[in-house]
Structure 1
């Protein structure tokens, strides 16, 4: 049976936040096209809920559906409608406790904190509401500078688009990078953004055409080799100066930075999908040594190769 995701709709909900789980989890499928998640939406008493954009929705379920959910998602509420007094109804608080996994998007973290789910835990929320959050919930270890926080069975994300990142992160954690990347492509978004807002597109193939596209594609098939700027420019049949300028115009970054990002992505894929040792992963990704791989991977995603494999490798 697909993993059931229950989304809790609250009055004054942020429209994008409410729609994100249904959109992202819905397109996560097996290679044969079988759905991996089922998304249902509920509200307290199955009552209509209204958003700031001037319309209401009528969920199909009440809070009882949370008893059958594997993951519960609480979207944010709009602007000044956050919980100014830090309280929610006893019914909602009780319904949210004891779930296998709970996520919040944006100011949905206020709801989780009001239910007591974040006491003593690291969490994040929309930066604009971070000051209020810290005053209302001093027991929470708030980090307003990251896109999302994964604390095992409770995960929180920052504003709006960070909910997309969090949902993809959950899919990646559940089913590995291949499934998450397919879902990301369906949603036309990068599969991974770390807390520093950097975007890492897994094995991105450049567009066909002139310029440096052919050389970029060639680089992707020779990541394990030394690729200095002179060799790249020679492959593109350009001077080093012209190649560097054209490359930056087409990708928005220098050849070295782009190449390093692709090597990190290749290393991540090898860690996720093979049993190769760290030294061999480093060699095949073009980093040469395990020490170099550790440094680059930690800079990109904040963990060591072994910790990354343990977290993201499919069971």
Structure 2
């Protein structure tokens, strides 16, 4: 069983405290063979959750709880720019020295950066703080995008969902992209469900005047999900055969062909604009596997994802682009 130690420092956001248990607990519940212990470890001194609702907290472990952890997570916290509490820097350096992975979220990246472990590596933080991070730690290559950055055993990210992004990336490293993707959908679908139902009602009212445009917009925002023509037809409030007729009239191709083209376009964008591995590009583009991406990519572009990324096999637009 892997041990995930969350380093709890004063003023951390409440969702940073609960997200690791939510992600790894969901994965363990839904996938036999996945097992984690999420261990909350206090840094030093009195602890409390920061904004929006300050609240004192007590955790069962001190810094010694990091000693045998496979992963150490450093959430954001209010005093991230101040000198780190006694023992925190030493504990993080010791964790790195024994081969633990370390993930830092938001302003927690400043605490990890203070150890010197990120020197000469890529890292990110919230967009409001990227310039400050680069100024304070000029030996770090700061990525301003704020998405998850993985450099060796270190993971950094930002944003409201930054902690979830890091946990899902760790889960993918341990148990594969499929497990991480299914866990992500399990967590996010309930959050998005109500908004989707409201939007679907609006979209269906507009369907007669706007054709399939609302469904096209809905589709483009959800390429990473395993959508089928039946899903698109349900969103549009029509049958699959009617959906395909409308797609051909609007786009010149059937709904499955259009969906494949959008996924390939997303994959090409990720290959040229990010350093994500092909397996991750496949998951983010909605392909079932890296093998599926390679098959479709080769058939429709005449080259491989790797050659396309390097520029040695960069074709022109897809037919019909």
Could you tell me the TM-score, scaled by structure 1's length? 0.68
* Deviation of 1:179 (Å): 1.3
Greater relative contact order, per chain length (Cα 8 Å cut-off, separation 6+)? 1
> What is the CA–CA distance in structure 1 between the aligned matches of 2:172 and 2:17, rounded to whole Å?
21
For the structure 1 residues 189 and 163, does the alpha-carbon distance in structure 2 shift closer, same or farther, using more than 3 Å as the test? farther
Cα deviation for residue 17 of structure 1 reads 2.0
User: Which has the larger displacement, 176-185 or 32-41?
Assistant: 32-41
- Structure 2 distance, partners of 1:259, 1:118, is 34
1:271 paired to 2:294 = no
Which position in structure 1 is the counterpart of 2:248?
240
Structure 2 CA distance for partners of 1:168 and 1:121, relative to 1, 3 Å? same
Q: Give the match's secondary structure for 1:73.
A: strand
Name the structure 2 match of 1:140. 140
Partner Cα separation in structure 1 for residue 120 and residue 222 of structure 2: 30
- Corresponding position of 1:29: 28
Distance 1:139 1:59 in 2: 34
Structure 1 residue aligned with 2:262: 257
Q: How many residues align?
A: 259
| Cα contact 1:121–1:151 (8 A) shared by 2 | yes
**1-structure distance, mates of 2:58, 2:92:** 20
Which sections of structure 2, spanning at least 5 residues, go unmatched?
191-220, 268-280, 314-321
> 2:50 and 2:135 mapped to 1: Cα distance?
26
| Correspondence for 2:305 | 294
Closer, same or farther: CA 239–260 of 1 in aligned 2, 3 Å = closer
Matched with 2:226 is 203
Match of 1:19 in 2: 18
1:60 deviates by: 1.1
Change (3 A) 1:282 1:101: closer
Deviation track 1:212-231 (CA, whole Å, cap 9, x = no partner) reads 8765xxxxxxxxxxxxxxxx
Q: Distance in 1 between matches of 2:137 and 2:264?
A: 43
State the shift of 1:173 in Å: 1.5
CA pair 256-64 structure 1, distance change in 2 beyond 3 A: same
Q: 2:90 aligns with which of 81, 90, 94?
A: 94
2:176 equivalent to 1:176: yes
User: 8 Å contact 1:130–1:144 — kept in the other structure?
Assistant: yes
The yes-or-no answer on 1:154 pairing with 2:179 is no
1:45–1:27 Cα change, 3 Å: same
- Partners of 2:9 and 2:44 within 8 A in 1: no
- Shift in Å, 1:142: 1.1
Matched-pair contact (CA < 8 Å) for 2:125–2:156: yes
Contact conserved, 1:76 with 1:108, CA < 8 A, in 2? Answer: yes
Decide whether the 8 Å contact of 2:297 with 2:303 is kept in 1: no
Contact persistence 2:263–2:286 (CA under 8 A): no
C-alpha separation in 1, matches of 2:152 and 2:239: 42
More helix by share: 2
Instruction: Give me the whole-angstrom Cα distance separating, in 1, the residues matched to 2:147 and 2:23.
Output: 17
Q: CA RMSD for the aligned pairs?
A: 3.9
